Structure 1
C-alpha cells in the first residue's frame, strides 16, 4: 500500500467525532480526516480548547427531551443528512448554544404554543449554518 508523505496546509480543526476530525484546509476545502492524517500538534491544541460540538454543525434538524435531557439532532458539514445524530445539549459548546439561543428559544416556544406531543409532527429544521432560521 502506498502512503503519501506530502503535507497540506491546514487552516484549523473544526470538529471531532471519535478519532475523526473535521479539517478546514487553507484552500477553503473542508473534509473529515482520520486522526492519523492530522498533525499531533494540531490535535493536541484542538483538544485543549475544545468545548463541545459547534463549528462542524451544518444544521440543527430537531430537538427532543429524552431521559430528562435535552437533545439536538445535528447534521454535520460535509456529511449527508442521513448521518445526523442526536447529541445531548451538554456536549454542545456554550458559545454555539449562546449564538443560536434566540432560534432555539423560539423553537421551544413554538412547540409549547402548538402543544406538539408527537415528535413526527414537529418542524424539522430549526437552524442552518447559512444563518437562516427555519421554523
Structure 2
C-alpha cells in the first residue's frame, strides 16, 4: 500500500475498516519497490529502509501499520507531532520510537514496537500480527 495511515482508513456501519487511497501502491514481483529519487512519501509513517533507500515491501507496510495502531490508541494524534520530517528521520535512525499511548495496553504497545524493528526481517508478518492481536 505504501501509505497505510488513519487518514486512509474508512469505517463502515458494521465497524469494518476499509483501507483507501491506493495511489501510492505499486505491483511488484519481488514484493519490494524502490522508488526513483525525489518521490514523495509519508515520512512519519515510514521505516528506515524507506527513509534512507526508498525501498518498499510488505514489511514497510507492517511498520506503517504499527504507526496506524499508535494513531488509533492516541485518539488521532499525529505521530511525532512536534517534530519536523528531518528530525523524525534522524530520530528513527537513532532508534527513537513512538511512546505508548495511554489507551494502549503494554501488550499492544509491545506488538506496535515489534512493527518498528530496525530491520524489515525483524518485523512480524501481517498474518503473525493478526494472530497476536486476536489473543489480546
Which structure has more strand as a fraction of its residues? 1
TM over 0.5: no
TM-score by length of 1: 0.25
Flag the structure with larger Rg: 1
Q: Say which structure, 1 or 2, has more relative contact order (CA 8 Å, 6+ apart).
A: 2
